[in-house]
A and B are shown apart, each in its own frame.
Chain A
Amino acid sequence: MSDVTPKYKGSVLRPLKALANLWREPATLPMEPRPAAPNYRGFHLNDWKLCIGCGTCQEICDNAAIRMVQIPDLPTDAKAGVKPRRPAIDYGRCCWCALCVDICPTGSLSLSREYIHVSSDIDSYFILPDEKGIHGLGFEKGWSKSETSDLLDHQRQEMECLPAEEALSGFGELVPGYDTQAAVLEASRCIQCGMCHEACPTGMNAPEYIRALWQGDREKAVAEIYRTNPLAQVCGRICTHACETACSVGRRGAPVAIRWLKRHAMDSVPPDQIREIAIAGKAEEPSGRRVSIIGAGPAGLTAAFDLAKKGHAVTIYEARSKPGGMMRFGIPEYRLPYHNLDADIDVIRASGVEILCNTAIGRDVSMAQIRGASDAVLISTGLWAARSARVPGTDHPRVLSAIRVLEAITQGEDFGVPRRAVVVGGGNVAFDVARSVARLQKARYGEVAMDVIALEDRDHMLADEEEVREAAGEGIDLFNSWGPKSIQINDGSIVALETVRCISLKDAEGRFHPKYDESTMVSHAADTVIEAIGQSADTSYLGKELVEALEWSRGRLKIDRAGRTSEPWLWAAGDMVEGPDVVHAIAAGHRAAASIDEVLAHMAVKPGNVA
């Protein structure tokens, strides 16, 4: 430890020391601005090609210096998560902290090495930065995105998954869902930009329920979810999550696990409470109008729920033994346990919807009867007819369709578990059937012998990545870029499926148009071939007369934007008119219900309808 005491070194001659400075070099500084450091935090730069208009910079700005400005003529793409907005900076407020740069999900924003702006024009301090900088001088980037300075949390909370061996041993649910802590942490990754809101077919305001979960208010989250989705237990598990594709956080990291968060909200609130939340706001008085819905799949159930809440008397006619449609008979139990589906349907029933199962149109009740008893009819009967590639041999009885096999598994029917099977198709249905049958193979024969052949290459699979990965773990072999050529039959039994190399999948316009190299062939030994290439709608139950009366377009029922057909009393929704997807069917159910409700509001109440 040192101690300092004042000391005096005086001398009469000391001032003369200054003379020494005469021989020093003058200290002269140039007038030009000195180049700023490579890391400098100067005026903003924004790469408009990278910027998606998410507005996160505006959110983090501590001085409210950033305002998102709508730019006409800029591309907008709700599916990809792009909004036609760009940040404008008010340099009267900006403090050049660069938090906007550090949080920017795309990395489009940076601060330049430019730091001089002198003007008496107050408007010149309010700029819309582009890649050229405030004066268009092309100053290079100063403070810009770096790995360490990134403020976003790019890593998703991990979701556990049953190990393959255990998964194969039955149809138990593969993923357990988040616990509360993981859910809150995952919810905290959300930047509330709302890209998901615009990307969701149902317009689910995910940021709202994510925020509620983050705040620990699960009931509020459930209420928010029920505003646009009455099948949330289902969607929280198997939704195709367009939201996550559009998620801004996913630009440079893993998108927020929006689907798993929805599931967490639904799993963590007791059923009674969910029912209470869901039915809140139901019309107190019955409207006196009757709506019949054919098909208890996602579209029909959604429309029924909406209409029942409006006070209409709703009856769903379902041909199968239980409601749910593809959600029950198409999606395997390990992805969507039946009791979760039942929980959603229970809420819909509790809203006052009557579901008549084992009631097929044309067999148990006629279309005319239904029409006579209803003010409006909605058909939502899905895509239950299977397509076949119709290559030689596909008429063999051991060439099965995926949808029939999945239905048989749900029903517990024996369809003859194959020893060696090949699934043709690269979508989720192909993997659903392959993995389901693999489980049965494991149980019956102790081993999995399953090939999946897909036209798509590995990077462009239609199926979800996790499906593909998990299937591989379960011992299913995937063969990419192969198309079915013929089925080899020996003594009446299938012995193999011949495949040819698919060299390209789409044409220049991006339309599906596979091209084959016929000289490259591979044979897959199998006793059963399962086709999972596509499905079509069977509308024969409508009856000849109605089919003739209705208008069609490209083989599908012609409907307006709300789902109304050319017959004013008939609406159609779901896979049968829009192609297969649960969440799109839910959205279509909402649109149809809104349209029906509007039409019913202007319709006189039939005598005898009021209960």
Chain B
Amino acid sequence: MSKAVREGFQQAREHLRSLTTVGEILETAMAFEKAAETFYSGLVDKVSKPMRELVRELAEEETRHFQLFADLRARPDVEAHVKDRIARPAADHKFSNYVHLPELGENPDDQSLLQYALARETAAAEEYAELASTAPEGPIRELFLFLANEELEHKAELEKRYYELVHSGGV
């Protein structure tokens, strides 16, 4: 973790202490996805053409996640619970680190870009898993479990891309 990421981690922890309802958590999660999408979209024009496809794919993935959240938020069974207050573990709110996007530099290469994306997915997956463990039985827990799984799958796919890219010449 770079210094910038560590700093973001500290700030986010303070902020998240105040989040206590399911609705607010969903809002934050959506903001998290939105911020990433904006970040990747902004990067598209900065990186060289060979990498653009990758950045665009990452942005599209985040858009898909954002849309997923929006759809979930609108579902009546979730709607019924948005006001529920749930206990949150005090420590290690991983995904919140990335609400505040760390510096990736002006001209990141493909490897660092994937490393960054991987770290994000890991943090999000762990965060949702933690939320699921504290949420009461029912649709909200199911929701977080689903989201955790979604992020894990995405992370695994990115990991494979990462290893294929970096170890391509390992012969």
The answer to whether A and B interact is: yes
Q: Complex formed: what's the CA distance from A387 to B111 in Å?
A: 9
Residues in B whose Cβ lies below 8 Å from that of A544? 48
Nearest A-chain residue to B51, judged by Cβ: A555
B163 engages A514 (CB within 8 Å) = yes
Residues in B whose Cβ lies below 8 Å from that of A547? 48-50
Is B168 in contact with chain A by the CB < 8 A criterion?
yes
Instruction: Give the Cβ gap from B120 to chain A, nearest Cβ, in Å.
Output: 16
Is B103 in contact with chain A by the CB < 8 A criterion?
no
Residues in B whose Cβ lies below 8 Å from that of A23? none
Is A552 in contact with chain B by the CB < 8 A criterion?
yes
Q: Which of B111, B112, B167, B170: most chain A CB closer than 10 A?
A: B170
B51 engages A534 (CB within 8 Å) = no
Among all A-B residue pairs, the 6 with the closest Cβ atoms: A535-B169, A534-B169, A427-B170, A427-B171, A552-B50, A534-B167
Is B115 in contact with chain A by the CB < 8 A criterion?
yes
Is B160 in contact with chain A by the CB < 8 A criterion?
yes
A539 engages B164 (CB within 8 Å) = no
Asked, given contacts A553-B53, A556-B50, whether A512 binds B163 with beta carbons under 8 Å apart, the answer is: yes
**What does the 1/0 interface line of A541-582 toward B look like (CB < 8 Å)?**
000100110101111110000000000000000010001110
Is B126 in contact with chain A by the CB < 8 A criterion?
no
Q: Complex formed: what's the CA distance from A539 to B110 in Å?
A: 14
Partner of A532, one of B110, B112, B170: B170
Is A293 in contact with chain B by the CB < 8 A criterion?
no
Nearest B-chain residue to A456, judged by Cβ: B170
Partner of A579, one of B52, B111, B169: B169
Asked, given contacts A552-B49, A552-B50, A555-B53, whether A512 binds B164 with beta carbons under 8 Å apart, the answer is: yes
Is A513 in contact with chain B by the CB < 8 A criterion?
yes
A533 engages B167 (CB within 8 Å) = yes
Q: Chain B interface secondary structure, helix, strand, loop or mixed?
A: helix
A512 engages B160 (CB within 8 Å) = yes
A511 engages B171 (CB within 8 Å) = no
Residues in B whose Cβ lies below 8 Å from that of A428? 171
Please report A residues at the B interface, Cβ cutoff 8 Å. 240, 383, 387-390, 425-430, 462, 507, 511-514, 532-536, 539, 544, 547-548, 550, 552-557, 575, 579-581
Asked, given contacts A390-B115, A507-B160, A512-B163, whether A462 binds B170 with beta carbons under 8 Å apart, the answer is: yes
Q: Chain A interface secondary structure, helix, strand, loop or mixed?
A: loop
Residues in A whose Cβ lies below 8 Å from that of B159? 513
A536 engages B169 (CB within 8 Å) = yes
Nearest A-chain residue to B57, judged by Cβ: A554
Interface residues of B in 22-64 (CB under 8 A from A): 48-54
**What does the 1/0 interface line of B134-171 toward A look like (CB < 8 Å)?**
00000000000000000000001001100111111111
Interface residues on B, range: 20 to 34
Partner of A429, one of B48, B156, B171: B171
> Given known contacts A388-B111, A512-B167, what 10 new A-B pairs fall within 8 Å (CB)?
A383-B169, A387-B165, A390-B115, A427-B169, A507-B156, A544-B48, A547-B48, A550-B49, A575-B169, A579-B168
A390 engages B163 (CB within 8 Å) = no
Instruction: Give the Cβ gap from B75 to chain A, nearest Cβ, in Å.
Output: 32
Residues in A whose Cβ lies below 8 Å from that of B112? 390
Q: Complex formed: what's the CA distance from A240 to B156 in Å?
A: 31
- Name 24 interchain pairs, CB-CB below 8 A, sorted by A: A387-B165, A390-B111, A427-B169, A427-B171, A430-B170, A513-B159, A513-B160, A533-B170, A534-B165, A534-B166, A534-B167, A534-B168, A535-B168, A535-B169, A536-B168, A552-B50, A555-B50, A555-B51, A555-B110, A556-B50, A557-B50, A579-B169, A580-B169, A580-B171
Q: Complex formed: what's the CA distance from A533 to B111 in Å?
A: 13
Residues in A whose Cβ lies below 8 Å from that of B169? 383, 387, 427, 429, 533-536, 575, 579-580
Q: Complex formed: what's the CA distance from A218 to B65 in Å?
A: 65
B53 engages A548 (CB within 8 Å) = no
Residues in A whose Cβ lies below 8 Å from that of B52? 552
Residues in B whose Cβ lies below 8 Å from that of A556? 50
Instruction: Give the Cβ gap from A587 to chain B, nearest Cβ, in Å.
Output: 16
Nearest A-chain residue to B163, judged by Cβ: A512
Nearest B-chain residue to A515, judged by Cβ: B159
Residues in A whose Cβ lies below 8 Å from that of B48? 544, 547
Partner of B49, one of A429, A536, A548: A548
Nearest A-chain residue to B169, judged by Cβ: A535
Q: Which of B49, B51, B110, B112: most chain A CB closer than 10 A?
A: B49
Residues in A whose Cβ lies below 8 Å from that of B160? 507, 511-513
Instruction: Give the Cβ gap from B3 to chain A, nearest Cβ, in Å.
Output: 13
A555 engages B54 (CB within 8 Å) = yes
B49 engages A513 (CB within 8 Å) = no
Residues in B whose Cβ lies below 8 Å from that of A389? 166
Nearest A-chain residue to B168, judged by Cβ: A534
Residues in A whose Cβ lies below 8 Å from that of B115? 390
Nearest A-chain residue to B159, judged by Cβ: A513
Residues in B whose Cβ lies below 8 Å from that of A534? 165-170
Q: Which of B51, B115, B156, B168: most chain A CB closer than 10 A?
A: B168
Instruction: Give the Cβ gap from B138 to chain A, nearest Cβ, in Å.
Output: 32
Asked, given contacts A513-B156, A513-B159, A581-B171, whether A533 binds B51 with beta carbons under 8 Å apart, the answer is: no
Q: Complex formed: what's the CA distance from A429 to B50 in Å?
A: 26
Q: Complex formed: what's the CA distance from A511 to B112 in Å?
A: 21
Nearest A-chain residue to B115, judged by Cβ: A390
Q: Complex formed: what's the CA distance from A389 to B112 in Å?
A: 11
B170 engages A552 (CB within 8 Å) = no
Instruction: Give the Cβ gap from B45 to chain A, nearest Cβ, in Å.
Output: 11
Instruction: Give the Cβ gap from B112 to chain A, nearest Cβ, in Å.
Output: 8
Q: Complex formed: what's the CA distance from A256 to B170 in Å?
A: 27
Instruction: Give the Cβ gap from B43 to chain A, nearest Cβ, in Å.
Output: 15
Instruction: Give the Cβ gap from A105 to chain B, nearest Cβ, in Å.
Output: 28
Asked, given contacts A429-B169, A462-B171, A547-B48, whether A552 binds B164 with beta carbons under 8 Å apart, the answer is: no
Instruction: Give the Cβ gap from B157 to chain A, nearest Cβ, in Å.
Output: 9
Residues in B whose Cβ lies below 8 Å from that of A548? 49
Q: Complex formed: what's the CA distance from A429 to B170 in Å?
A: 7
Q: Complex formed: what's the CA distance from A581 to B51 in Å?
A: 24
Instruction: Give the Cβ gap from B6 to chain A, nearest Cβ, in Å.
Output: 13
Q: Complex formed: what's the CA distance from A575 to B54 in Å?
A: 21
Q: Complex formed: what's the CA distance from A512 to B165 in Å?
A: 10
Nearest B-chain residue to A507, judged by Cβ: B160
Nearest B-chain residue to A547, judged by Cβ: B49
Q: Complex formed: what's the CA distance from A31 to B127 in Å?
A: 82
Residues in B whose Cβ lies below 8 Å from that of A581? 171
Nearest B-chain residue to A509, judged by Cβ: B160
Q: Complex formed: what's the CA distance from A533 to B166 in Å?
A: 7
Q: Complex formed: what's the CA distance from A581 to B169 in Å?
A: 9
Residues in A whose Cβ lies below 8 Å from that of B170? 425-427, 429-430, 462, 532-534
Q: Complex formed: what's the CA distance from A275 to B168 in Å?
A: 36
